[in-house]
């Protein structure tokens, strides 16, 4: 009995700081998620302005397209081939997934565009946005948005990333596999300019670029 009484206070003392740490980390994660969402919304608004400045139509995807198909916008131009779309079958539109500039890690000073996070698996372990239904990926850089064919980006990422080489530090995730703590996702960093150079060399075409109106 005496031995048990001595152990109990120790157990309580160990649990309390662990609980505080967990709560603190949860609040930190919530703050980071909220900040990421705000950055994403800001990038979407800037993309809308940049698209309209190019004389193209743009409309927001519906909830199902956003959540399941990883489509944020439909952009239209009469010179493009029609994309299958139940709500606007007769209008030539192309589906777009928008990605804002991101920090490499939580400790990074600010978002950057040199390295692009690509998602092989989502937080639940399902297919990530790299395997989504969008035709184009609009990735933000300081002066505008590169519109990249998602299929080409996926092929490049699958070829270049060593998914067997798993790292635990996001700063080491360049062309390697990285998963966030307590999540089932799988991501990697690829060099944006390296992909663009490969695409332009292989296709003989310039990568499509929409400048931000205030940066022209």
Model confidence pLDDT, tens digit, residues 177-213: 999 988 999 999 999 999 999 999 999 999 999 999 9
pTM of the model: 0.77
pLDDT above 80 for 48? yes
Structure confidence at residue 79 (pLDDT): 63
Structure confidence at residue 193 (pLDDT): 97
More confident residue, 48 or 22: 48
CB atoms within 10 A of CB 50: 25
Q: Quick one: DSSP state of residue 102?
A: B
Q: For residues 113 and 135, what is the distance between their CA atoms, to the nearest angstrom? A: 21
Structure confidence at residue 106 (pLDDT): 82
pLDDT above 50 for 171? yes
Structure confidence at residue 90 (pLDDT): 54
The vertex-163 CA angle with 159 and 168, nearest 5°, equals: 140
Structure confidence at residue 6 (pLDDT): 46
Q: CB under 8 Å to 148, separation ≥6 — which residues?
A: 136, 137, 138, 139, 195, 196, 199, 207, 208
Structure confidence at residue 215 (pLDDT): 64
The vertex-58 CA angle with 87 and 144, nearest 5°, equals: 145
Structure confidence at residue 78 (pLDDT): 63
Average pLDDT of the segment spanning 140-144: 96
Q: What is the CA radius of gyration of the chain?
A: 21
Structure confidence at residue 109 (pLDDT): 77
Summarize pLDDT for 50-106 with one digit per residue, the tens: 999 999 999 999 999 999 999 999 999 766 554 444 444 555 789 999 999 999 988
Of 124, 128, 63, 78, residue with least CA distance to 137: 128
Structure confidence at residue 89 (pLDDT): 52
Structure confidence at residue 113 (pLDDT): 95
What CATH number has the domain spanning 2-215?
Answer: 3.40.1350.10
Q: What percentage of the chain carries pLDDT values higher than 70? A: 75
Summarize pLDDT for 27-41 with one digit per residue, the tens: 444 434 555 567 679
- Average pLDDT value for the chain: 82
Q: Which two tokens stand for residue 96?
A: 């777009």
Q: For residues 133 and 136, what is the distance between their CA atoms, to the nearest angstrom? A: 9
Q: For residues 181 and 178, what is the distance between their CA atoms, to the nearest angstrom? A: 10
Name the residue with tokens 């190019």: 54
């Amino acid at each position: 009995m005496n031995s048990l009484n001595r152990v109990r206070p120790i157990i309580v003392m160990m649990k309390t700081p662990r609980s505080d740490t967990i709560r603190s980390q949860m609040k930190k994660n919530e703050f980071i998620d909220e900040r990421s969402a705000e950055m994403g919304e800001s990038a979407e608004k800037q993309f809308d302005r940049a698209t309209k400045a190019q004389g193209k139509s743009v409309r927001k995807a519906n909830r199902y397209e956003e959540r399941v198909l990883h489509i944020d916008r439909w952009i239209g131009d009469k010179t493009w081939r029609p994309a299958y779309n139940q709500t606007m079958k007769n209008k030539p539109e192309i589906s777009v997934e928008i990605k804002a500039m991101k920090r490499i890690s939580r400790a990074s000073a600010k978002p950057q565009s040199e390295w692009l996070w690509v998602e092989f698996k989502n937080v639940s372990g399902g297919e990530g946005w790299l395997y989504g239904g969008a035709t184009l990926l609009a990735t933000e850089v300081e002066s505008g948005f590169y519109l990249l064919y998602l299929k080409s980006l996926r092929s490049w990422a699958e070829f270049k990333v060593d998914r067997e080489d798993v790292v635990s530090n996001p700063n080491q995730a360049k062309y390697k596999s990285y998963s966030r703590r307590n999540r089932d996702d799988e991501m990697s960093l690829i060099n944006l300019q390296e992909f663009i150079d490969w695409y332009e060399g292989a296709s003989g075409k310039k990568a499509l670029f929409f400048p931000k109106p205030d940066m022209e």
